[in-house]
Amino acid sequence: MSFCAISGNVVSEPVFAPKTGLIYEERLLHKALEAEGGKCPVTGVELDPEKDLYKVKTSQVTMPRPPQSSSFPTILSTLQSEWDSLLLEQVNLRKELLETRKDLATALYEREAAGAVIARLMSENKQLKEDLQRAGGAAAMDTDNENGRLGALIRATADELQNIRTAWKPPKPGDGNLADLKKDGGSWAKQRSLNPHKASKPGVTCVAVDEFSIKRGVQPTNIVASGGVDGEIKLIDAREGQILATPGRHKGRVNDVCMNTAAGVIVSASTDKNVHVYTGDIAEPTSFELKNTLKLHAKGVECARLHPSNKVLLTVGSDSFWTVTSLESGNAELKNAEDENLYCAQWHPDGRLFAVAGAAGKISVYNAISDPGKGPIVEPMDHGDVVKRIAFSENGYLLASAGEDGQVRIWDLRTVQETSSQRFESTPAAIAFDASGSYLAVGEESGAVTILGKPPKKKKKDPWAPVVQLYDHKMPITGLAFSANARSLWVSSLDRTLNEYAAQA
């Protein structure tokens, strides 16, 4: 009498496997081999049913008559079978547990190895950025003629810009043209409230007016541009409050928009890593269409600023790079890395200089005509915390910076010294000078808007003091833009609204 190595029962058709030295019930073994992929369920040894199994001759065994299911022996037999099944299941579970532990150990080792590779790549990337900065920029072009094509282009327009700025006399307080906010600031209130962007993705992220026409003494058009969380660019009639056109859209949030209606150019920057350049005739706003898509950054583009010549574009991104690009060719003439994520940039009114700032709190000023890759022309100004926005006054003497420390600081570029500062209850998220340089608007993350007035000449050392305070918005301010002669102020906010403020008639 023989017993099956799998079931433990007396075999009726026994087979012997020399590889394992065990006897099995033939029918049961064939099923087990099919289930286990040709391996013995007891030893795990591979068995070929045709070659590795030999039938065994045994005397016929007369099986006892099966007992009644209600008898005590039957119950014991059933319980014994259940117990055997549980033991077999426990054995299988232990095998699976051991395999799982091995897989887990392998995965942990691979994760640790991947972490080491990532750390090494990050270290190499940082070293490459440092080498790139020392080498004068990733895309430093021909520097034989000052700064190559870019330097020649900017120099060619510098004299023209200087003549325009000299001929244009900015309005001054008391001349009858510039709004006297120190006198009428208390009467300022909301004149218009628009919801130009989709309600499904609420939030107006930026606003722009044609500041170039304002600063050239040209009668500006009544067009306001805005960008939103929905990725769309809107052109709005400032007089009627109507949406005139949607030139295009990004796949991500629009971070910045700027325009020059006289040149027929609108530029937008987005978190989708792209910069869009739209061209058209402002007399027909619907004529604006996408002319070029510039892929200048590896991460989101935080800011895009048109050069006063309308031929060059300055951008900064959260990839730590700033770029200066020719709009005609679409090529980055300069591309340089900073040791920080960059959030804002601005051209100096003379078109020769530009400034960038970001997470390190340093405001660096570069000369675009000579080689900017050599570094800032003066020691970077230290705001003391992350700088969210910067702005130049039109006379070019002052630069304002807004930081996460709640401070707005005003710097004199002639001495590179801070001349005034103002602390706010929440983080200043947007700032803008008017065209005369007499007023500075500040928008906070709390939704409050304050307009600071420049101190009189006889009291230059006095701080810039609030002359207008507005509290209609309940969510962060994202953009500010003065109209001509500071007669009104456009304010964009994440509360979906684009508001215009002015003195009550």
Residue 317 domain-assigned (yes or no): yes
Pick the last residue of a domain from 63, 80, 102.
63
Do residues 149 and 35 share a domain? no
- Determine, yes or no, domain membership for 105: no
Query: Which residues neighbour 337 within 8 Å (Cβ) at sequence distance 6 or greater?
Result: 129, 132, 133, 137, 138, 320, 321
Number of domains in the chain: 2
Residue 60 reports pLDDT greater than 70: no
In a domain, 221, yes or no: yes
Note down the domain range covering 27.
1-63
User: Are residues 178 and 288 part of one domain?
Assistant: yes
Which two three-digit tokens encode residue 504? 């009550």
* Whether residue 141 sits in one domain with residue 51: no
Q: In the structure encoding, which two tokens stand for residue 168, read together?
A: 């244009």
Q: For 478, list phi and psi in degrees, rounded to 5.
A: -115, -20
Contact criterion met (CB below 8 Å) for 132 and 337: yes
Q: What is the CATH number of the domain that holds 200?
A: 2.130.10.10
Cβ–Cβ < 8 Å for 309, 117: no
Instruction: Examine the pLDDT at 203 and tell me if it is beyond 80.
Output: yes
Q: Cβ contacts of residue 318 below 8 Å, gap of 6+? A: 297, 299, 300, 302, 341, 342, 343
The C-alpha atoms of residue 142 and residue 108 are separated, in whole angstroms, by 50
- Candidates 35, 43, 37; CA nearest to 24 is 43
Compute the half-sphere exposure of residue 62: CA atoms within 13 Å on the CB side of its CA: 1
Decide: 41 and 28 in contact? Cβ < 8 Å. Answer: no
pTM: 0.69
Q: How many secondary structure helices (H) and strands (E) does the chain include?
A: 5, 31
Same domain, yes or no: 311 and 225: yes
Q: Are residues 57 and 142 in the same domain?
A: no
Lowest mean pLDDT among 172-181, 355-364, 389-398: 172-181
| The residue type at 101 | R
Among 63, 78, 93, identify where a domain stops.
63
Residues 143, 15 share a domain:
no
What pLDDT sits at residue 140?
Answer: 40
Does the residue 146 lie in any domain? yes
Same domain, 140 and 58: no
Same domain membership, residue 284 and residue 194? yes
Could you say which of 63, 93, 109 is where a domain stops?
A: 63
* Residue 106 resides in a domain: no
For residues 241 and 366, state if they share a domain: yes
| Mean residue pLDDT across the chain | 85
| Residue 33, domain CATH | 3.30.40.10
The residue assigned the tokens 């309308």 is 310
pLDDT digits (tens, 9 = 90+) for 253-309: 999 999 988 788 999 999 999 999 999 998 899 999 999 999 999 999 999 999 888
One domain for residues 51 and 150: no
